[in-house]
Structure 1
Amino acid sequence: MGRPRGFDVDEALDAALALFWRKGYEGTSYADLTAAVGVERPALYAAFGNKEALFRRVLARYTERELAYVPEALALPSAREVAAHMLARAVELNTRCPDHTGCLYLNGVLAGSDAAEPVRQALIAARAEGEAALRQRFERARTEGDLPPDARPEALAAFLMAVLHGIGVQAKAGFSRDRLEAVAALALASFPARAPAA
């Protein structure tokens, strides 16, 4: 079955992204998707496959567009700058759009049925990759003397991820940007200082 005239895949993905971001994977029905995308269910299947396949496409788009600040942060010269950039951009991302606050990764995984377990596992794996990248960056910072010798990169990465996840959950719960910026500032204040020069 062909796509209807005027069907734009990019626009459809953007509409689906906003919907999944707002309602989560399980909270989004096929009726929601067809209404948001503006096509009937057979055309949606023809373009994207099933709901899980569409969600995976949306997740890739979200990662590429909305989480581009993560590799930017990892490339910054100091561990503290990495953390500051991650925290500031997470607050901005999670509060930018009043109709879909929070984080797509978290909104899609906090609760789900057995049928949604493959999606939940994909989201867990993606977040684990992010935490591993942070841990490696902080290990490098310790080796380079940017962090004290007794710094624990694994714990620092887990701490930063916990705060980032908390920001996403609190944004979804209606916390203001100002309040979340205060949380980010407190988290950054607890980050280890640069190792003293020898």
Structure 2
Amino acid sequence: MASKEYRNIQAAENREQIEAHIRSILRLIGEDADREGLLETPARVARMYEEIFSGYVADYHEVLGVLFDENHEELVIVKDIDYFSQCEHHMVPFMGKVHIGYVPSGKVAGLSKFARLVEAVSKKLQLQERMTTEISGVIMDVLAPKGVMVVVTGQHLCMCGRGVKKSGAVTVTSATRGEFRHNYALRNEFMALIQS
């Protein structure tokens, strides 16, 4: 594991390079990178990138944190978790909601940890399909539940603001693991509860 000092030096070097590239992009699109309104834009973009791409340095398994022994063996749902991510095809935002359901097998995580997991997984160049799979996979790996189901809805600005320009289109993806794969009653219960 790199030392904190090394990571700070690396982050500063990355920031400088990003700023230089943003300045170049501004010139390439026909802007005057030295005009007053744009002078600080490269630095602002570099700081924004550190925030919106922080998932590259997150340890997803650590994010779920301390697990609690709990005999609850019924469905647990955390729904309507907002996320904001960046499409890897066009580097424009997509955003929506994540709904997570799982059936514990002796261990539970604090409910806020699921929101933190969504935050960590979404903060990188991403595909909604992959994000859905990653969230379900981490929950299976860390909690080892009897089953997990993740449903993600998203609006993609690459569809809204360019290309086909369909601003009302919503993409829905799902991932099922364990009991959710074959237990249709459990799936239906989850779907009914997230829609209520």
Q: Flag the structure with higher helix content.
A: 1
Higher-Rg member (1/2): 2
Q: Flag the structure with higher strand content.
A: 2
Q: Does the alignment reach a TM-score above 0.5?
A: no
By relative contact order (CA 8 Å, sep 6+), the higher-ranking structure is: 1
